[in-house]
Structure 1
């Protein structure tokens, strides 16, 4: 597999190969992207007609990268007389400084060429290999290469300029240069991405931050964010590295909404650089104890875009919280339903869970009162449109069989929900974790109604409904001879009996009967589900198990963080610690940046976690994982105006100290130590 290198600042990002080049490709998509459009599809550097070879890459920061290059292919003995440094940064626009260094004792002439092209492909067109329907025109004017694209009112443009004189044509720029002995030559290239509005203006110029920022401004903002977060001191280097990397990535994933001008967290690079209901909610839950001020814009945005009508194309229903919001061409022309799309059965109950958790941490009663209508709407959705079969469970079936998602739970790939023998059930489906989320939402909604909405009767009703749901669920989903909960119910109400990681989400929601929690914990940490690096999405003896299948055997860090939280809630502190330990161990092999998913191979088989080939990285809820694991290990739980701290640090991890944890209590410190001291010789 080719290795990608990326830089990003919010919704503008660049993905290239290890030479820094961008080439048109569908199996290995690279390019300069902004708001769901690829503005550069070719950016290819040659020196005297030769491609360059990478000596080293400096990519320590998310928004800038340096490539150290020499011409030709690598050989055992390399004595290059010339080298090239590509220094690039991103901040709404893209800038690259090219430096050619002559290492010989004579003046040398070089021809430096950058091939450039823009296909203005929508992300969905790249994923599904569709042809463009608009017209693209390159022009050379006033020392710039301008490539414009238009399809009716949809108008985008990329403008490339250079600081050094060169020959500019419609396919790129050529520089014929002479470099003195041991001298150097430099040019600075600037690439502006323009998103035109209905009146011909650049939309991003109207945003509060102007859509374009310098590298210095980005660095200052990220530093300011890191300084606001609690300070971690610990003996465990994987934890320290993952925490720092996560905060950096979360800062980099913040972007300005092109519609409302607020700062939100994008879900992940490269495919999900936008607002996602489920991803944004889970990430918010992970981040809340560390940077609570990042959360309120997401809650308000989700509330503001809550479904208000029946729209089969978008899977929209009154009270439903969105799944995904897109800004690209295919959404604009309704070739995709993502403007926004509502194909999630879990976002509505999770919205109520987040709103309650947010108030418990921050004490922001104003927001809870402000969003009473939206929270009630989400709760009403559970029992109306969510209960498709009138059985008291949350079911899903897309209203849009053409382009709607089949699976509308977090495992939303087509084959993720199966019986043990690998068969797929029909629709509608009621996955187990949806019922847990609904149960939790009702209990949390009851607290909000009683405490803030002055409606004790509604609170009593929600609590009765939650109790009835828990009793019904433990009857209908429990498989007695296997002693775990079914993955789902099929349309006939029969159990979809595969063993999956979803049962860990049930612990988190609290719907598991206390008498059964121990058996669930044993399954989660047993050899069928636990790989040694984490809990697999599907047990290794199930019909559809595949260690490199997206939702049928891989290990998802986010999934494991929720499972660890659930184990902690039921008092399984040692088991929760094992998951924390495993995921943090895995993070070492990804330089602290946990990917979206990695392979579910047994740890003894590979000795290191194997990369999933197309995993998003960075991804928001993977970046949030070390934060939630910290909360679990330190036993952080808000109670009224106080923060309860009840640490259970895994053996051998040593000291874990988190200073200045923010919340309604002001700022407090937490300290935990493992029962056995940190051993510098062990895997930590």
Structure 2
């Protein structure tokens, strides 16, 4: 019989789980816990699926005492193990009961709890699992959200085998069940309790399964073991992407380990969808707060991973085209032709309280979609998709010219119209991410430099498609002329001759250059908008002690007033940012500088299990023998995991050509020989083998 959950007091801002927190993820499901595997009530931890938290408490105790942590951590991206022992109790000395928790997520939670008793005399213990849910929207987890307890209905099985919670608010509904085998001896409030009598050497185990229901969609976790792959068919797009991934042969463990870890993390962050009957896969942005479609992150990660196959790029293009804006809407910053910033599925977005279903507050995603669209064509020669999505591409170009350029000055600007919109709508989207050299914040609208570079590149790439599969030479001529005028205008308005000459991060609402020195200059090299005679000045700035920390290029120069090595976009080092900078440097022939960045980032990964986090602190390498983590970095994050793959492409100089794979290798001496087998280009596969600047490309079919 159902009854209402008793209402608790409103909670304060939730605490973090500490540096030893353990996170596991699979697709749209993740779980964060402390090092003991527990989720204390009131913390930011819990089991989250599709932007809703289904468990906000999951605490295992013996005789109401916390367990001591011996060792814990992730095993696979979707699994973790916790080795624990009992604390000192009045009737039981410490370390007499060993506890192992094995956790697996994916469409819910499966956990196996095993106990073994090492005491001499028989003993009785009370094993208690306290559970709870608040069905919080993801936006509420890190802040005080609405108390839903009066609307949550609790049900428990009469034999102690199950405990359930159900919630509904209008059209939004969710439920979660906790199933136990063997059943608990007692259901005590919202806790399952087992009263155990243990003999020396005795083992006891329990399996816990937590299925979820989101609206009309039932999700049940699959029982699996450590290291087991998820069971997908051979035509599943994520299976195909993993199968197509080239094999890396390297003399150094460093490169192999980073490559392997990146691939595992990327697959764990996949989103699988069906669009018009076609199953597709794309990458979400990252754990824990961004396991959803993000325009910018999804597009850049797909670009970074093109050498590993086209399935993810295809999925990103199709899904984002499906959600391309078609009307004007101030609340969601929507304008016809615009590519989304973020798509959320939680209660607040579904009911229209938040503008994220989807939200379009990004000035750069539309040009980035066009860049990936072109890159997909170059690597696949897929005329069918390129022609099918031509209308989307033309709508994106119209948005750039009509709505992205808000005042007709030839630049794409941003300035939110939404009451809940983002202030900064470039990749540096924190409130102080764009600032003057003196630390003051500019007025809107803002036209950031890299967005103009992306626009320049996008127009040239669309001209290539117009000349090719679209058979529209007049369109190609027009786009090239527009790109040329943009390049000339940009290099007049954004160039600042002081400090040795560099590019402003943007123009403010009064058309004044925003004069901070930032890593965004490297994106300009990647786009090709920088004249050859200025590329050297940009490269010198990027590699100067003020910008290059020894682990990578900082987002902001140490000479600028707003510099903060632990500020989100004002001094930190971002792997994805550095992968684009390295590619840009290599484009202009600065291969040694590109390799210096790549090697610094690869070496940084040694200190984090060969996984690059979202961001590192900007402290100089001489500050310590290892990189200082950014305090709340997402880990893993898709475009950080994609960065090593783009570094590898840059070292090998890989580009798709009309007749196959092209290479122009410049491999760092420290890496020795590199071989990459089975690189897909236009329906064929190629192998490249390189040492230094010597390389060989051969068919692998």
**1:604 Cα shift?**
0.3
Decide whether the 8 Å contact of 1:91 with 1:215 is kept in 2. Answer: no
Q: Structure 2 vs 1, CA of residues 615 and 259 (structure 1 numbering), >3 Å: closer, same or farther?
A: farther
Residue of 627, 635, 639 corresponding to 2:653? 635
| Residue 53 of structure 1, CA deviation | 1.3
Equivalent positions of 1:353-432 (< 5 A) are 353-400=371-418, 402-432=419-449
> Residue 385 of structure 1: SS of its match in structure 2?
helix
**Cα 1:461–1:122, aligned 2, differ >3 Å: closer, same or farther?**
same
Tell me, what secondary structure is at the counterpart of 2:142? helix
Aligned to 1:3: 20
Find 2:188's aligned residue among 169, 173, 184: 169
Distance 1:73 1:543 in 2: 53
The alpha carbon displacement at 1:218 in A equals 3.8
* 1:318 correspondence with 2:318: no
Report the Cα distance in structure 1 between the residues aligned to 2:208 and 2:408, rounded to whole angstroms: 61
Distance 1:212 1:185 in 2: 22
Q: Aligned pair count?
A: 660
TM-score (norm: length of structure 1): 0.94
- 127, 140, 161: which one aligns with 1:112: 127
1:18 is aligned, of 23, 29, 35, to 35
Q: Give per-residue Cα distances to partners, 1:538-582, cap 9 Å, x unaligned.
A: 111111110000000000000000001111111111110001001
Work out the CA distance in 2 between the residues paired with 1:79 and 1:456: 79
Asked if residue 286 in structure 1 is aligned to residue 304 in structure 2, the reply is yes
Hey, what's the Cα distance between the residues in 1 that align with 2:320 and 2:644? 25
Match of 1:208 in 2: none
Tell me, yes or no, if the aligned pair for 1:652 and 1:674 is still in contact at 8 Å: no
Matches within 5 A, 1:248-647: 248-257=264-273, 262-400=280-418, 402-482=419-499, 483-647=501-665
Deviates more, 1:48-57 or 1:483-492: 48-57
- Which of 193, 198, 206 in structure 2 is aligned with 1:179? 198
Deviation for aligned residue 1:227: 4.2
Find the residue that maps to 1:437 and give its secondary structure.
helix
Which residue of the partner structure matches residue 135 of structure 1? 151
Equivalent in the alignment of 1:242: 258
- CA-CA distance at 1:257 after TM superposition: 4.1
- C-alpha displacement at 1:9, in angstroms? 1.0
**Deviation of residue 658 (structure 1)?**
1.0
TM-score (ref. length: structure 2): 0.91
Tell me if the contact between 1:98 and 1:188 (Cα under 8 Å) persists in the aligned partners: yes
Deviation per residue, 1:74-124 (Å, 9 max, x gap)? 9xxx97221101011112121111111011233322110000000111011
Q: Deviations for 1:130-171, whole angstroms, at most 9, x for unmatched residues? A: 223571122213531001111122111110011113112331
Matches of 2:689 and 2:661, distance apart in 1: 13
Cα pair 1:145 1:170 within 8 Å, conserved: no
Task: Note closer, same or farther for the CA distance 1:478–1:73 as it changes in structure 2 (3 Å cut).
Answer: farther
Distance 1:608 1:73 in 2: 37
Q: Residue 101 of structure 2 aligns with which residue?
A: 86
SS of the aligned residue for 2:618 comes to coil
Query: Per the alignment, in what secondary structure is the counterpart of residue 312 of structure 1?
Result: coil
- Evaluate the alpha carbon distance shift between residue 80 and residue 141 of structure 1 in structure 2; reply closer, same or farther with a 3 A threshold: closer
Distance 1:246 1:655 in 2: 20
Partners of 1:65 and 1:644 in 2: how far apart?
Answer: 41
- Is contact 2:613-2:633 (8 Å) kept? yes
Indicate whether 1:215 and 2:224 are aligned. Answer: yes
Distance 1:588 1:307 in 2: 42
2:116 to 78, 82, 101: 101
Is 2:684 the counterpart of 1:666?
yes
Q: Distance in 1 between matches of 2:363 and 2:147?
A: 32
Say if 2:275 and 2:319, in contact at 8 Å, map to a contact too.
Answer: no
Q: 498-507 or 635-644, which moves further after superposition? A: 635-644
How far is the alpha carbon of 1:598 from its aligned partner? 1.0
Partners of 1:145 and 1:169 within 8 A in 2 = no
CA 1:536 to 1:161, structure 2 compared with 1: closer, same or farther past 3 Å?
same
**Unaligned 5+ residue runs, structure 2?**
1-17, 233-237, 695-701
> Residues 98, 258 of structure 1: CA spacing in aligned structure 2 closer, same or farther, 3 A cutoff?
farther
Contact 1:139–1:170 (CA under 8 A) maintained in structure 2: no
Cα separation, 2, equivalents of 1:22 and 1:175: 19
The answer to whether the Cα contact below 8 Å between 1:42 and 1:116 also exists between their aligned partners in 2 is yes
SS of the equivalent of 2:536 reads: helix
Maintained 8 Å contact 2:325/2:338: yes
In structure 2, C-alpha distance between the alignment counterparts of 1:214 and 1:438, rounded to whole Å? 48
Q: More displaced, 517-526 or 139-148?
A: 139-148
Question: Following the alignment from structure 1 to structure 2, what is the Cα–Cα distance between the partners of residues 607 and 433?
Answer: 33
Alignment-derived partner of residue 680 in structure 1 = none
Cα separation, 2, equivalents of 1:631 and 1:675: 14
**Offset at residue 172 of structure 1 (A):** 1.3
The unaligned stretches of length 5 or more in structure 1 are 206-210, 677-684
2: distance between equivalents of 1:70 and 1:112? 12
User: Take 1:358 and 1:323, find their aligned partners in 2: how far apart are those partners?
Assistant: 20
The match for 1:682 is none
Deviation at residue 394 of structure 1 after TM alignment: 0.6
Aligned-residue CA RMSD (Å): 1.9
Aligned counterparts of 2:516 and 2:264: Cα–Cα separation in 1: 38
1:642 and 1:665 in contact (8 A); partners too: no
Check the 8 A contact 1:657/1:671 in 2, yes or no. Answer: yes
Tell me what 1:681 maps to: none
Which residue of 2 is the match for residue 70 of structure 1?
85
**Could you say what secondary structure the match of 2:205 adopts?**
strand
Task: Pick which of 424-433 and 141-150 moved more.
Answer: 141-150
Residue deviations 1:486-507 (CA, integer Å, cap 9, x gap): 0111112111000000000000
**Mapped partners of 1:534, 1:285: distance in 2:** 20
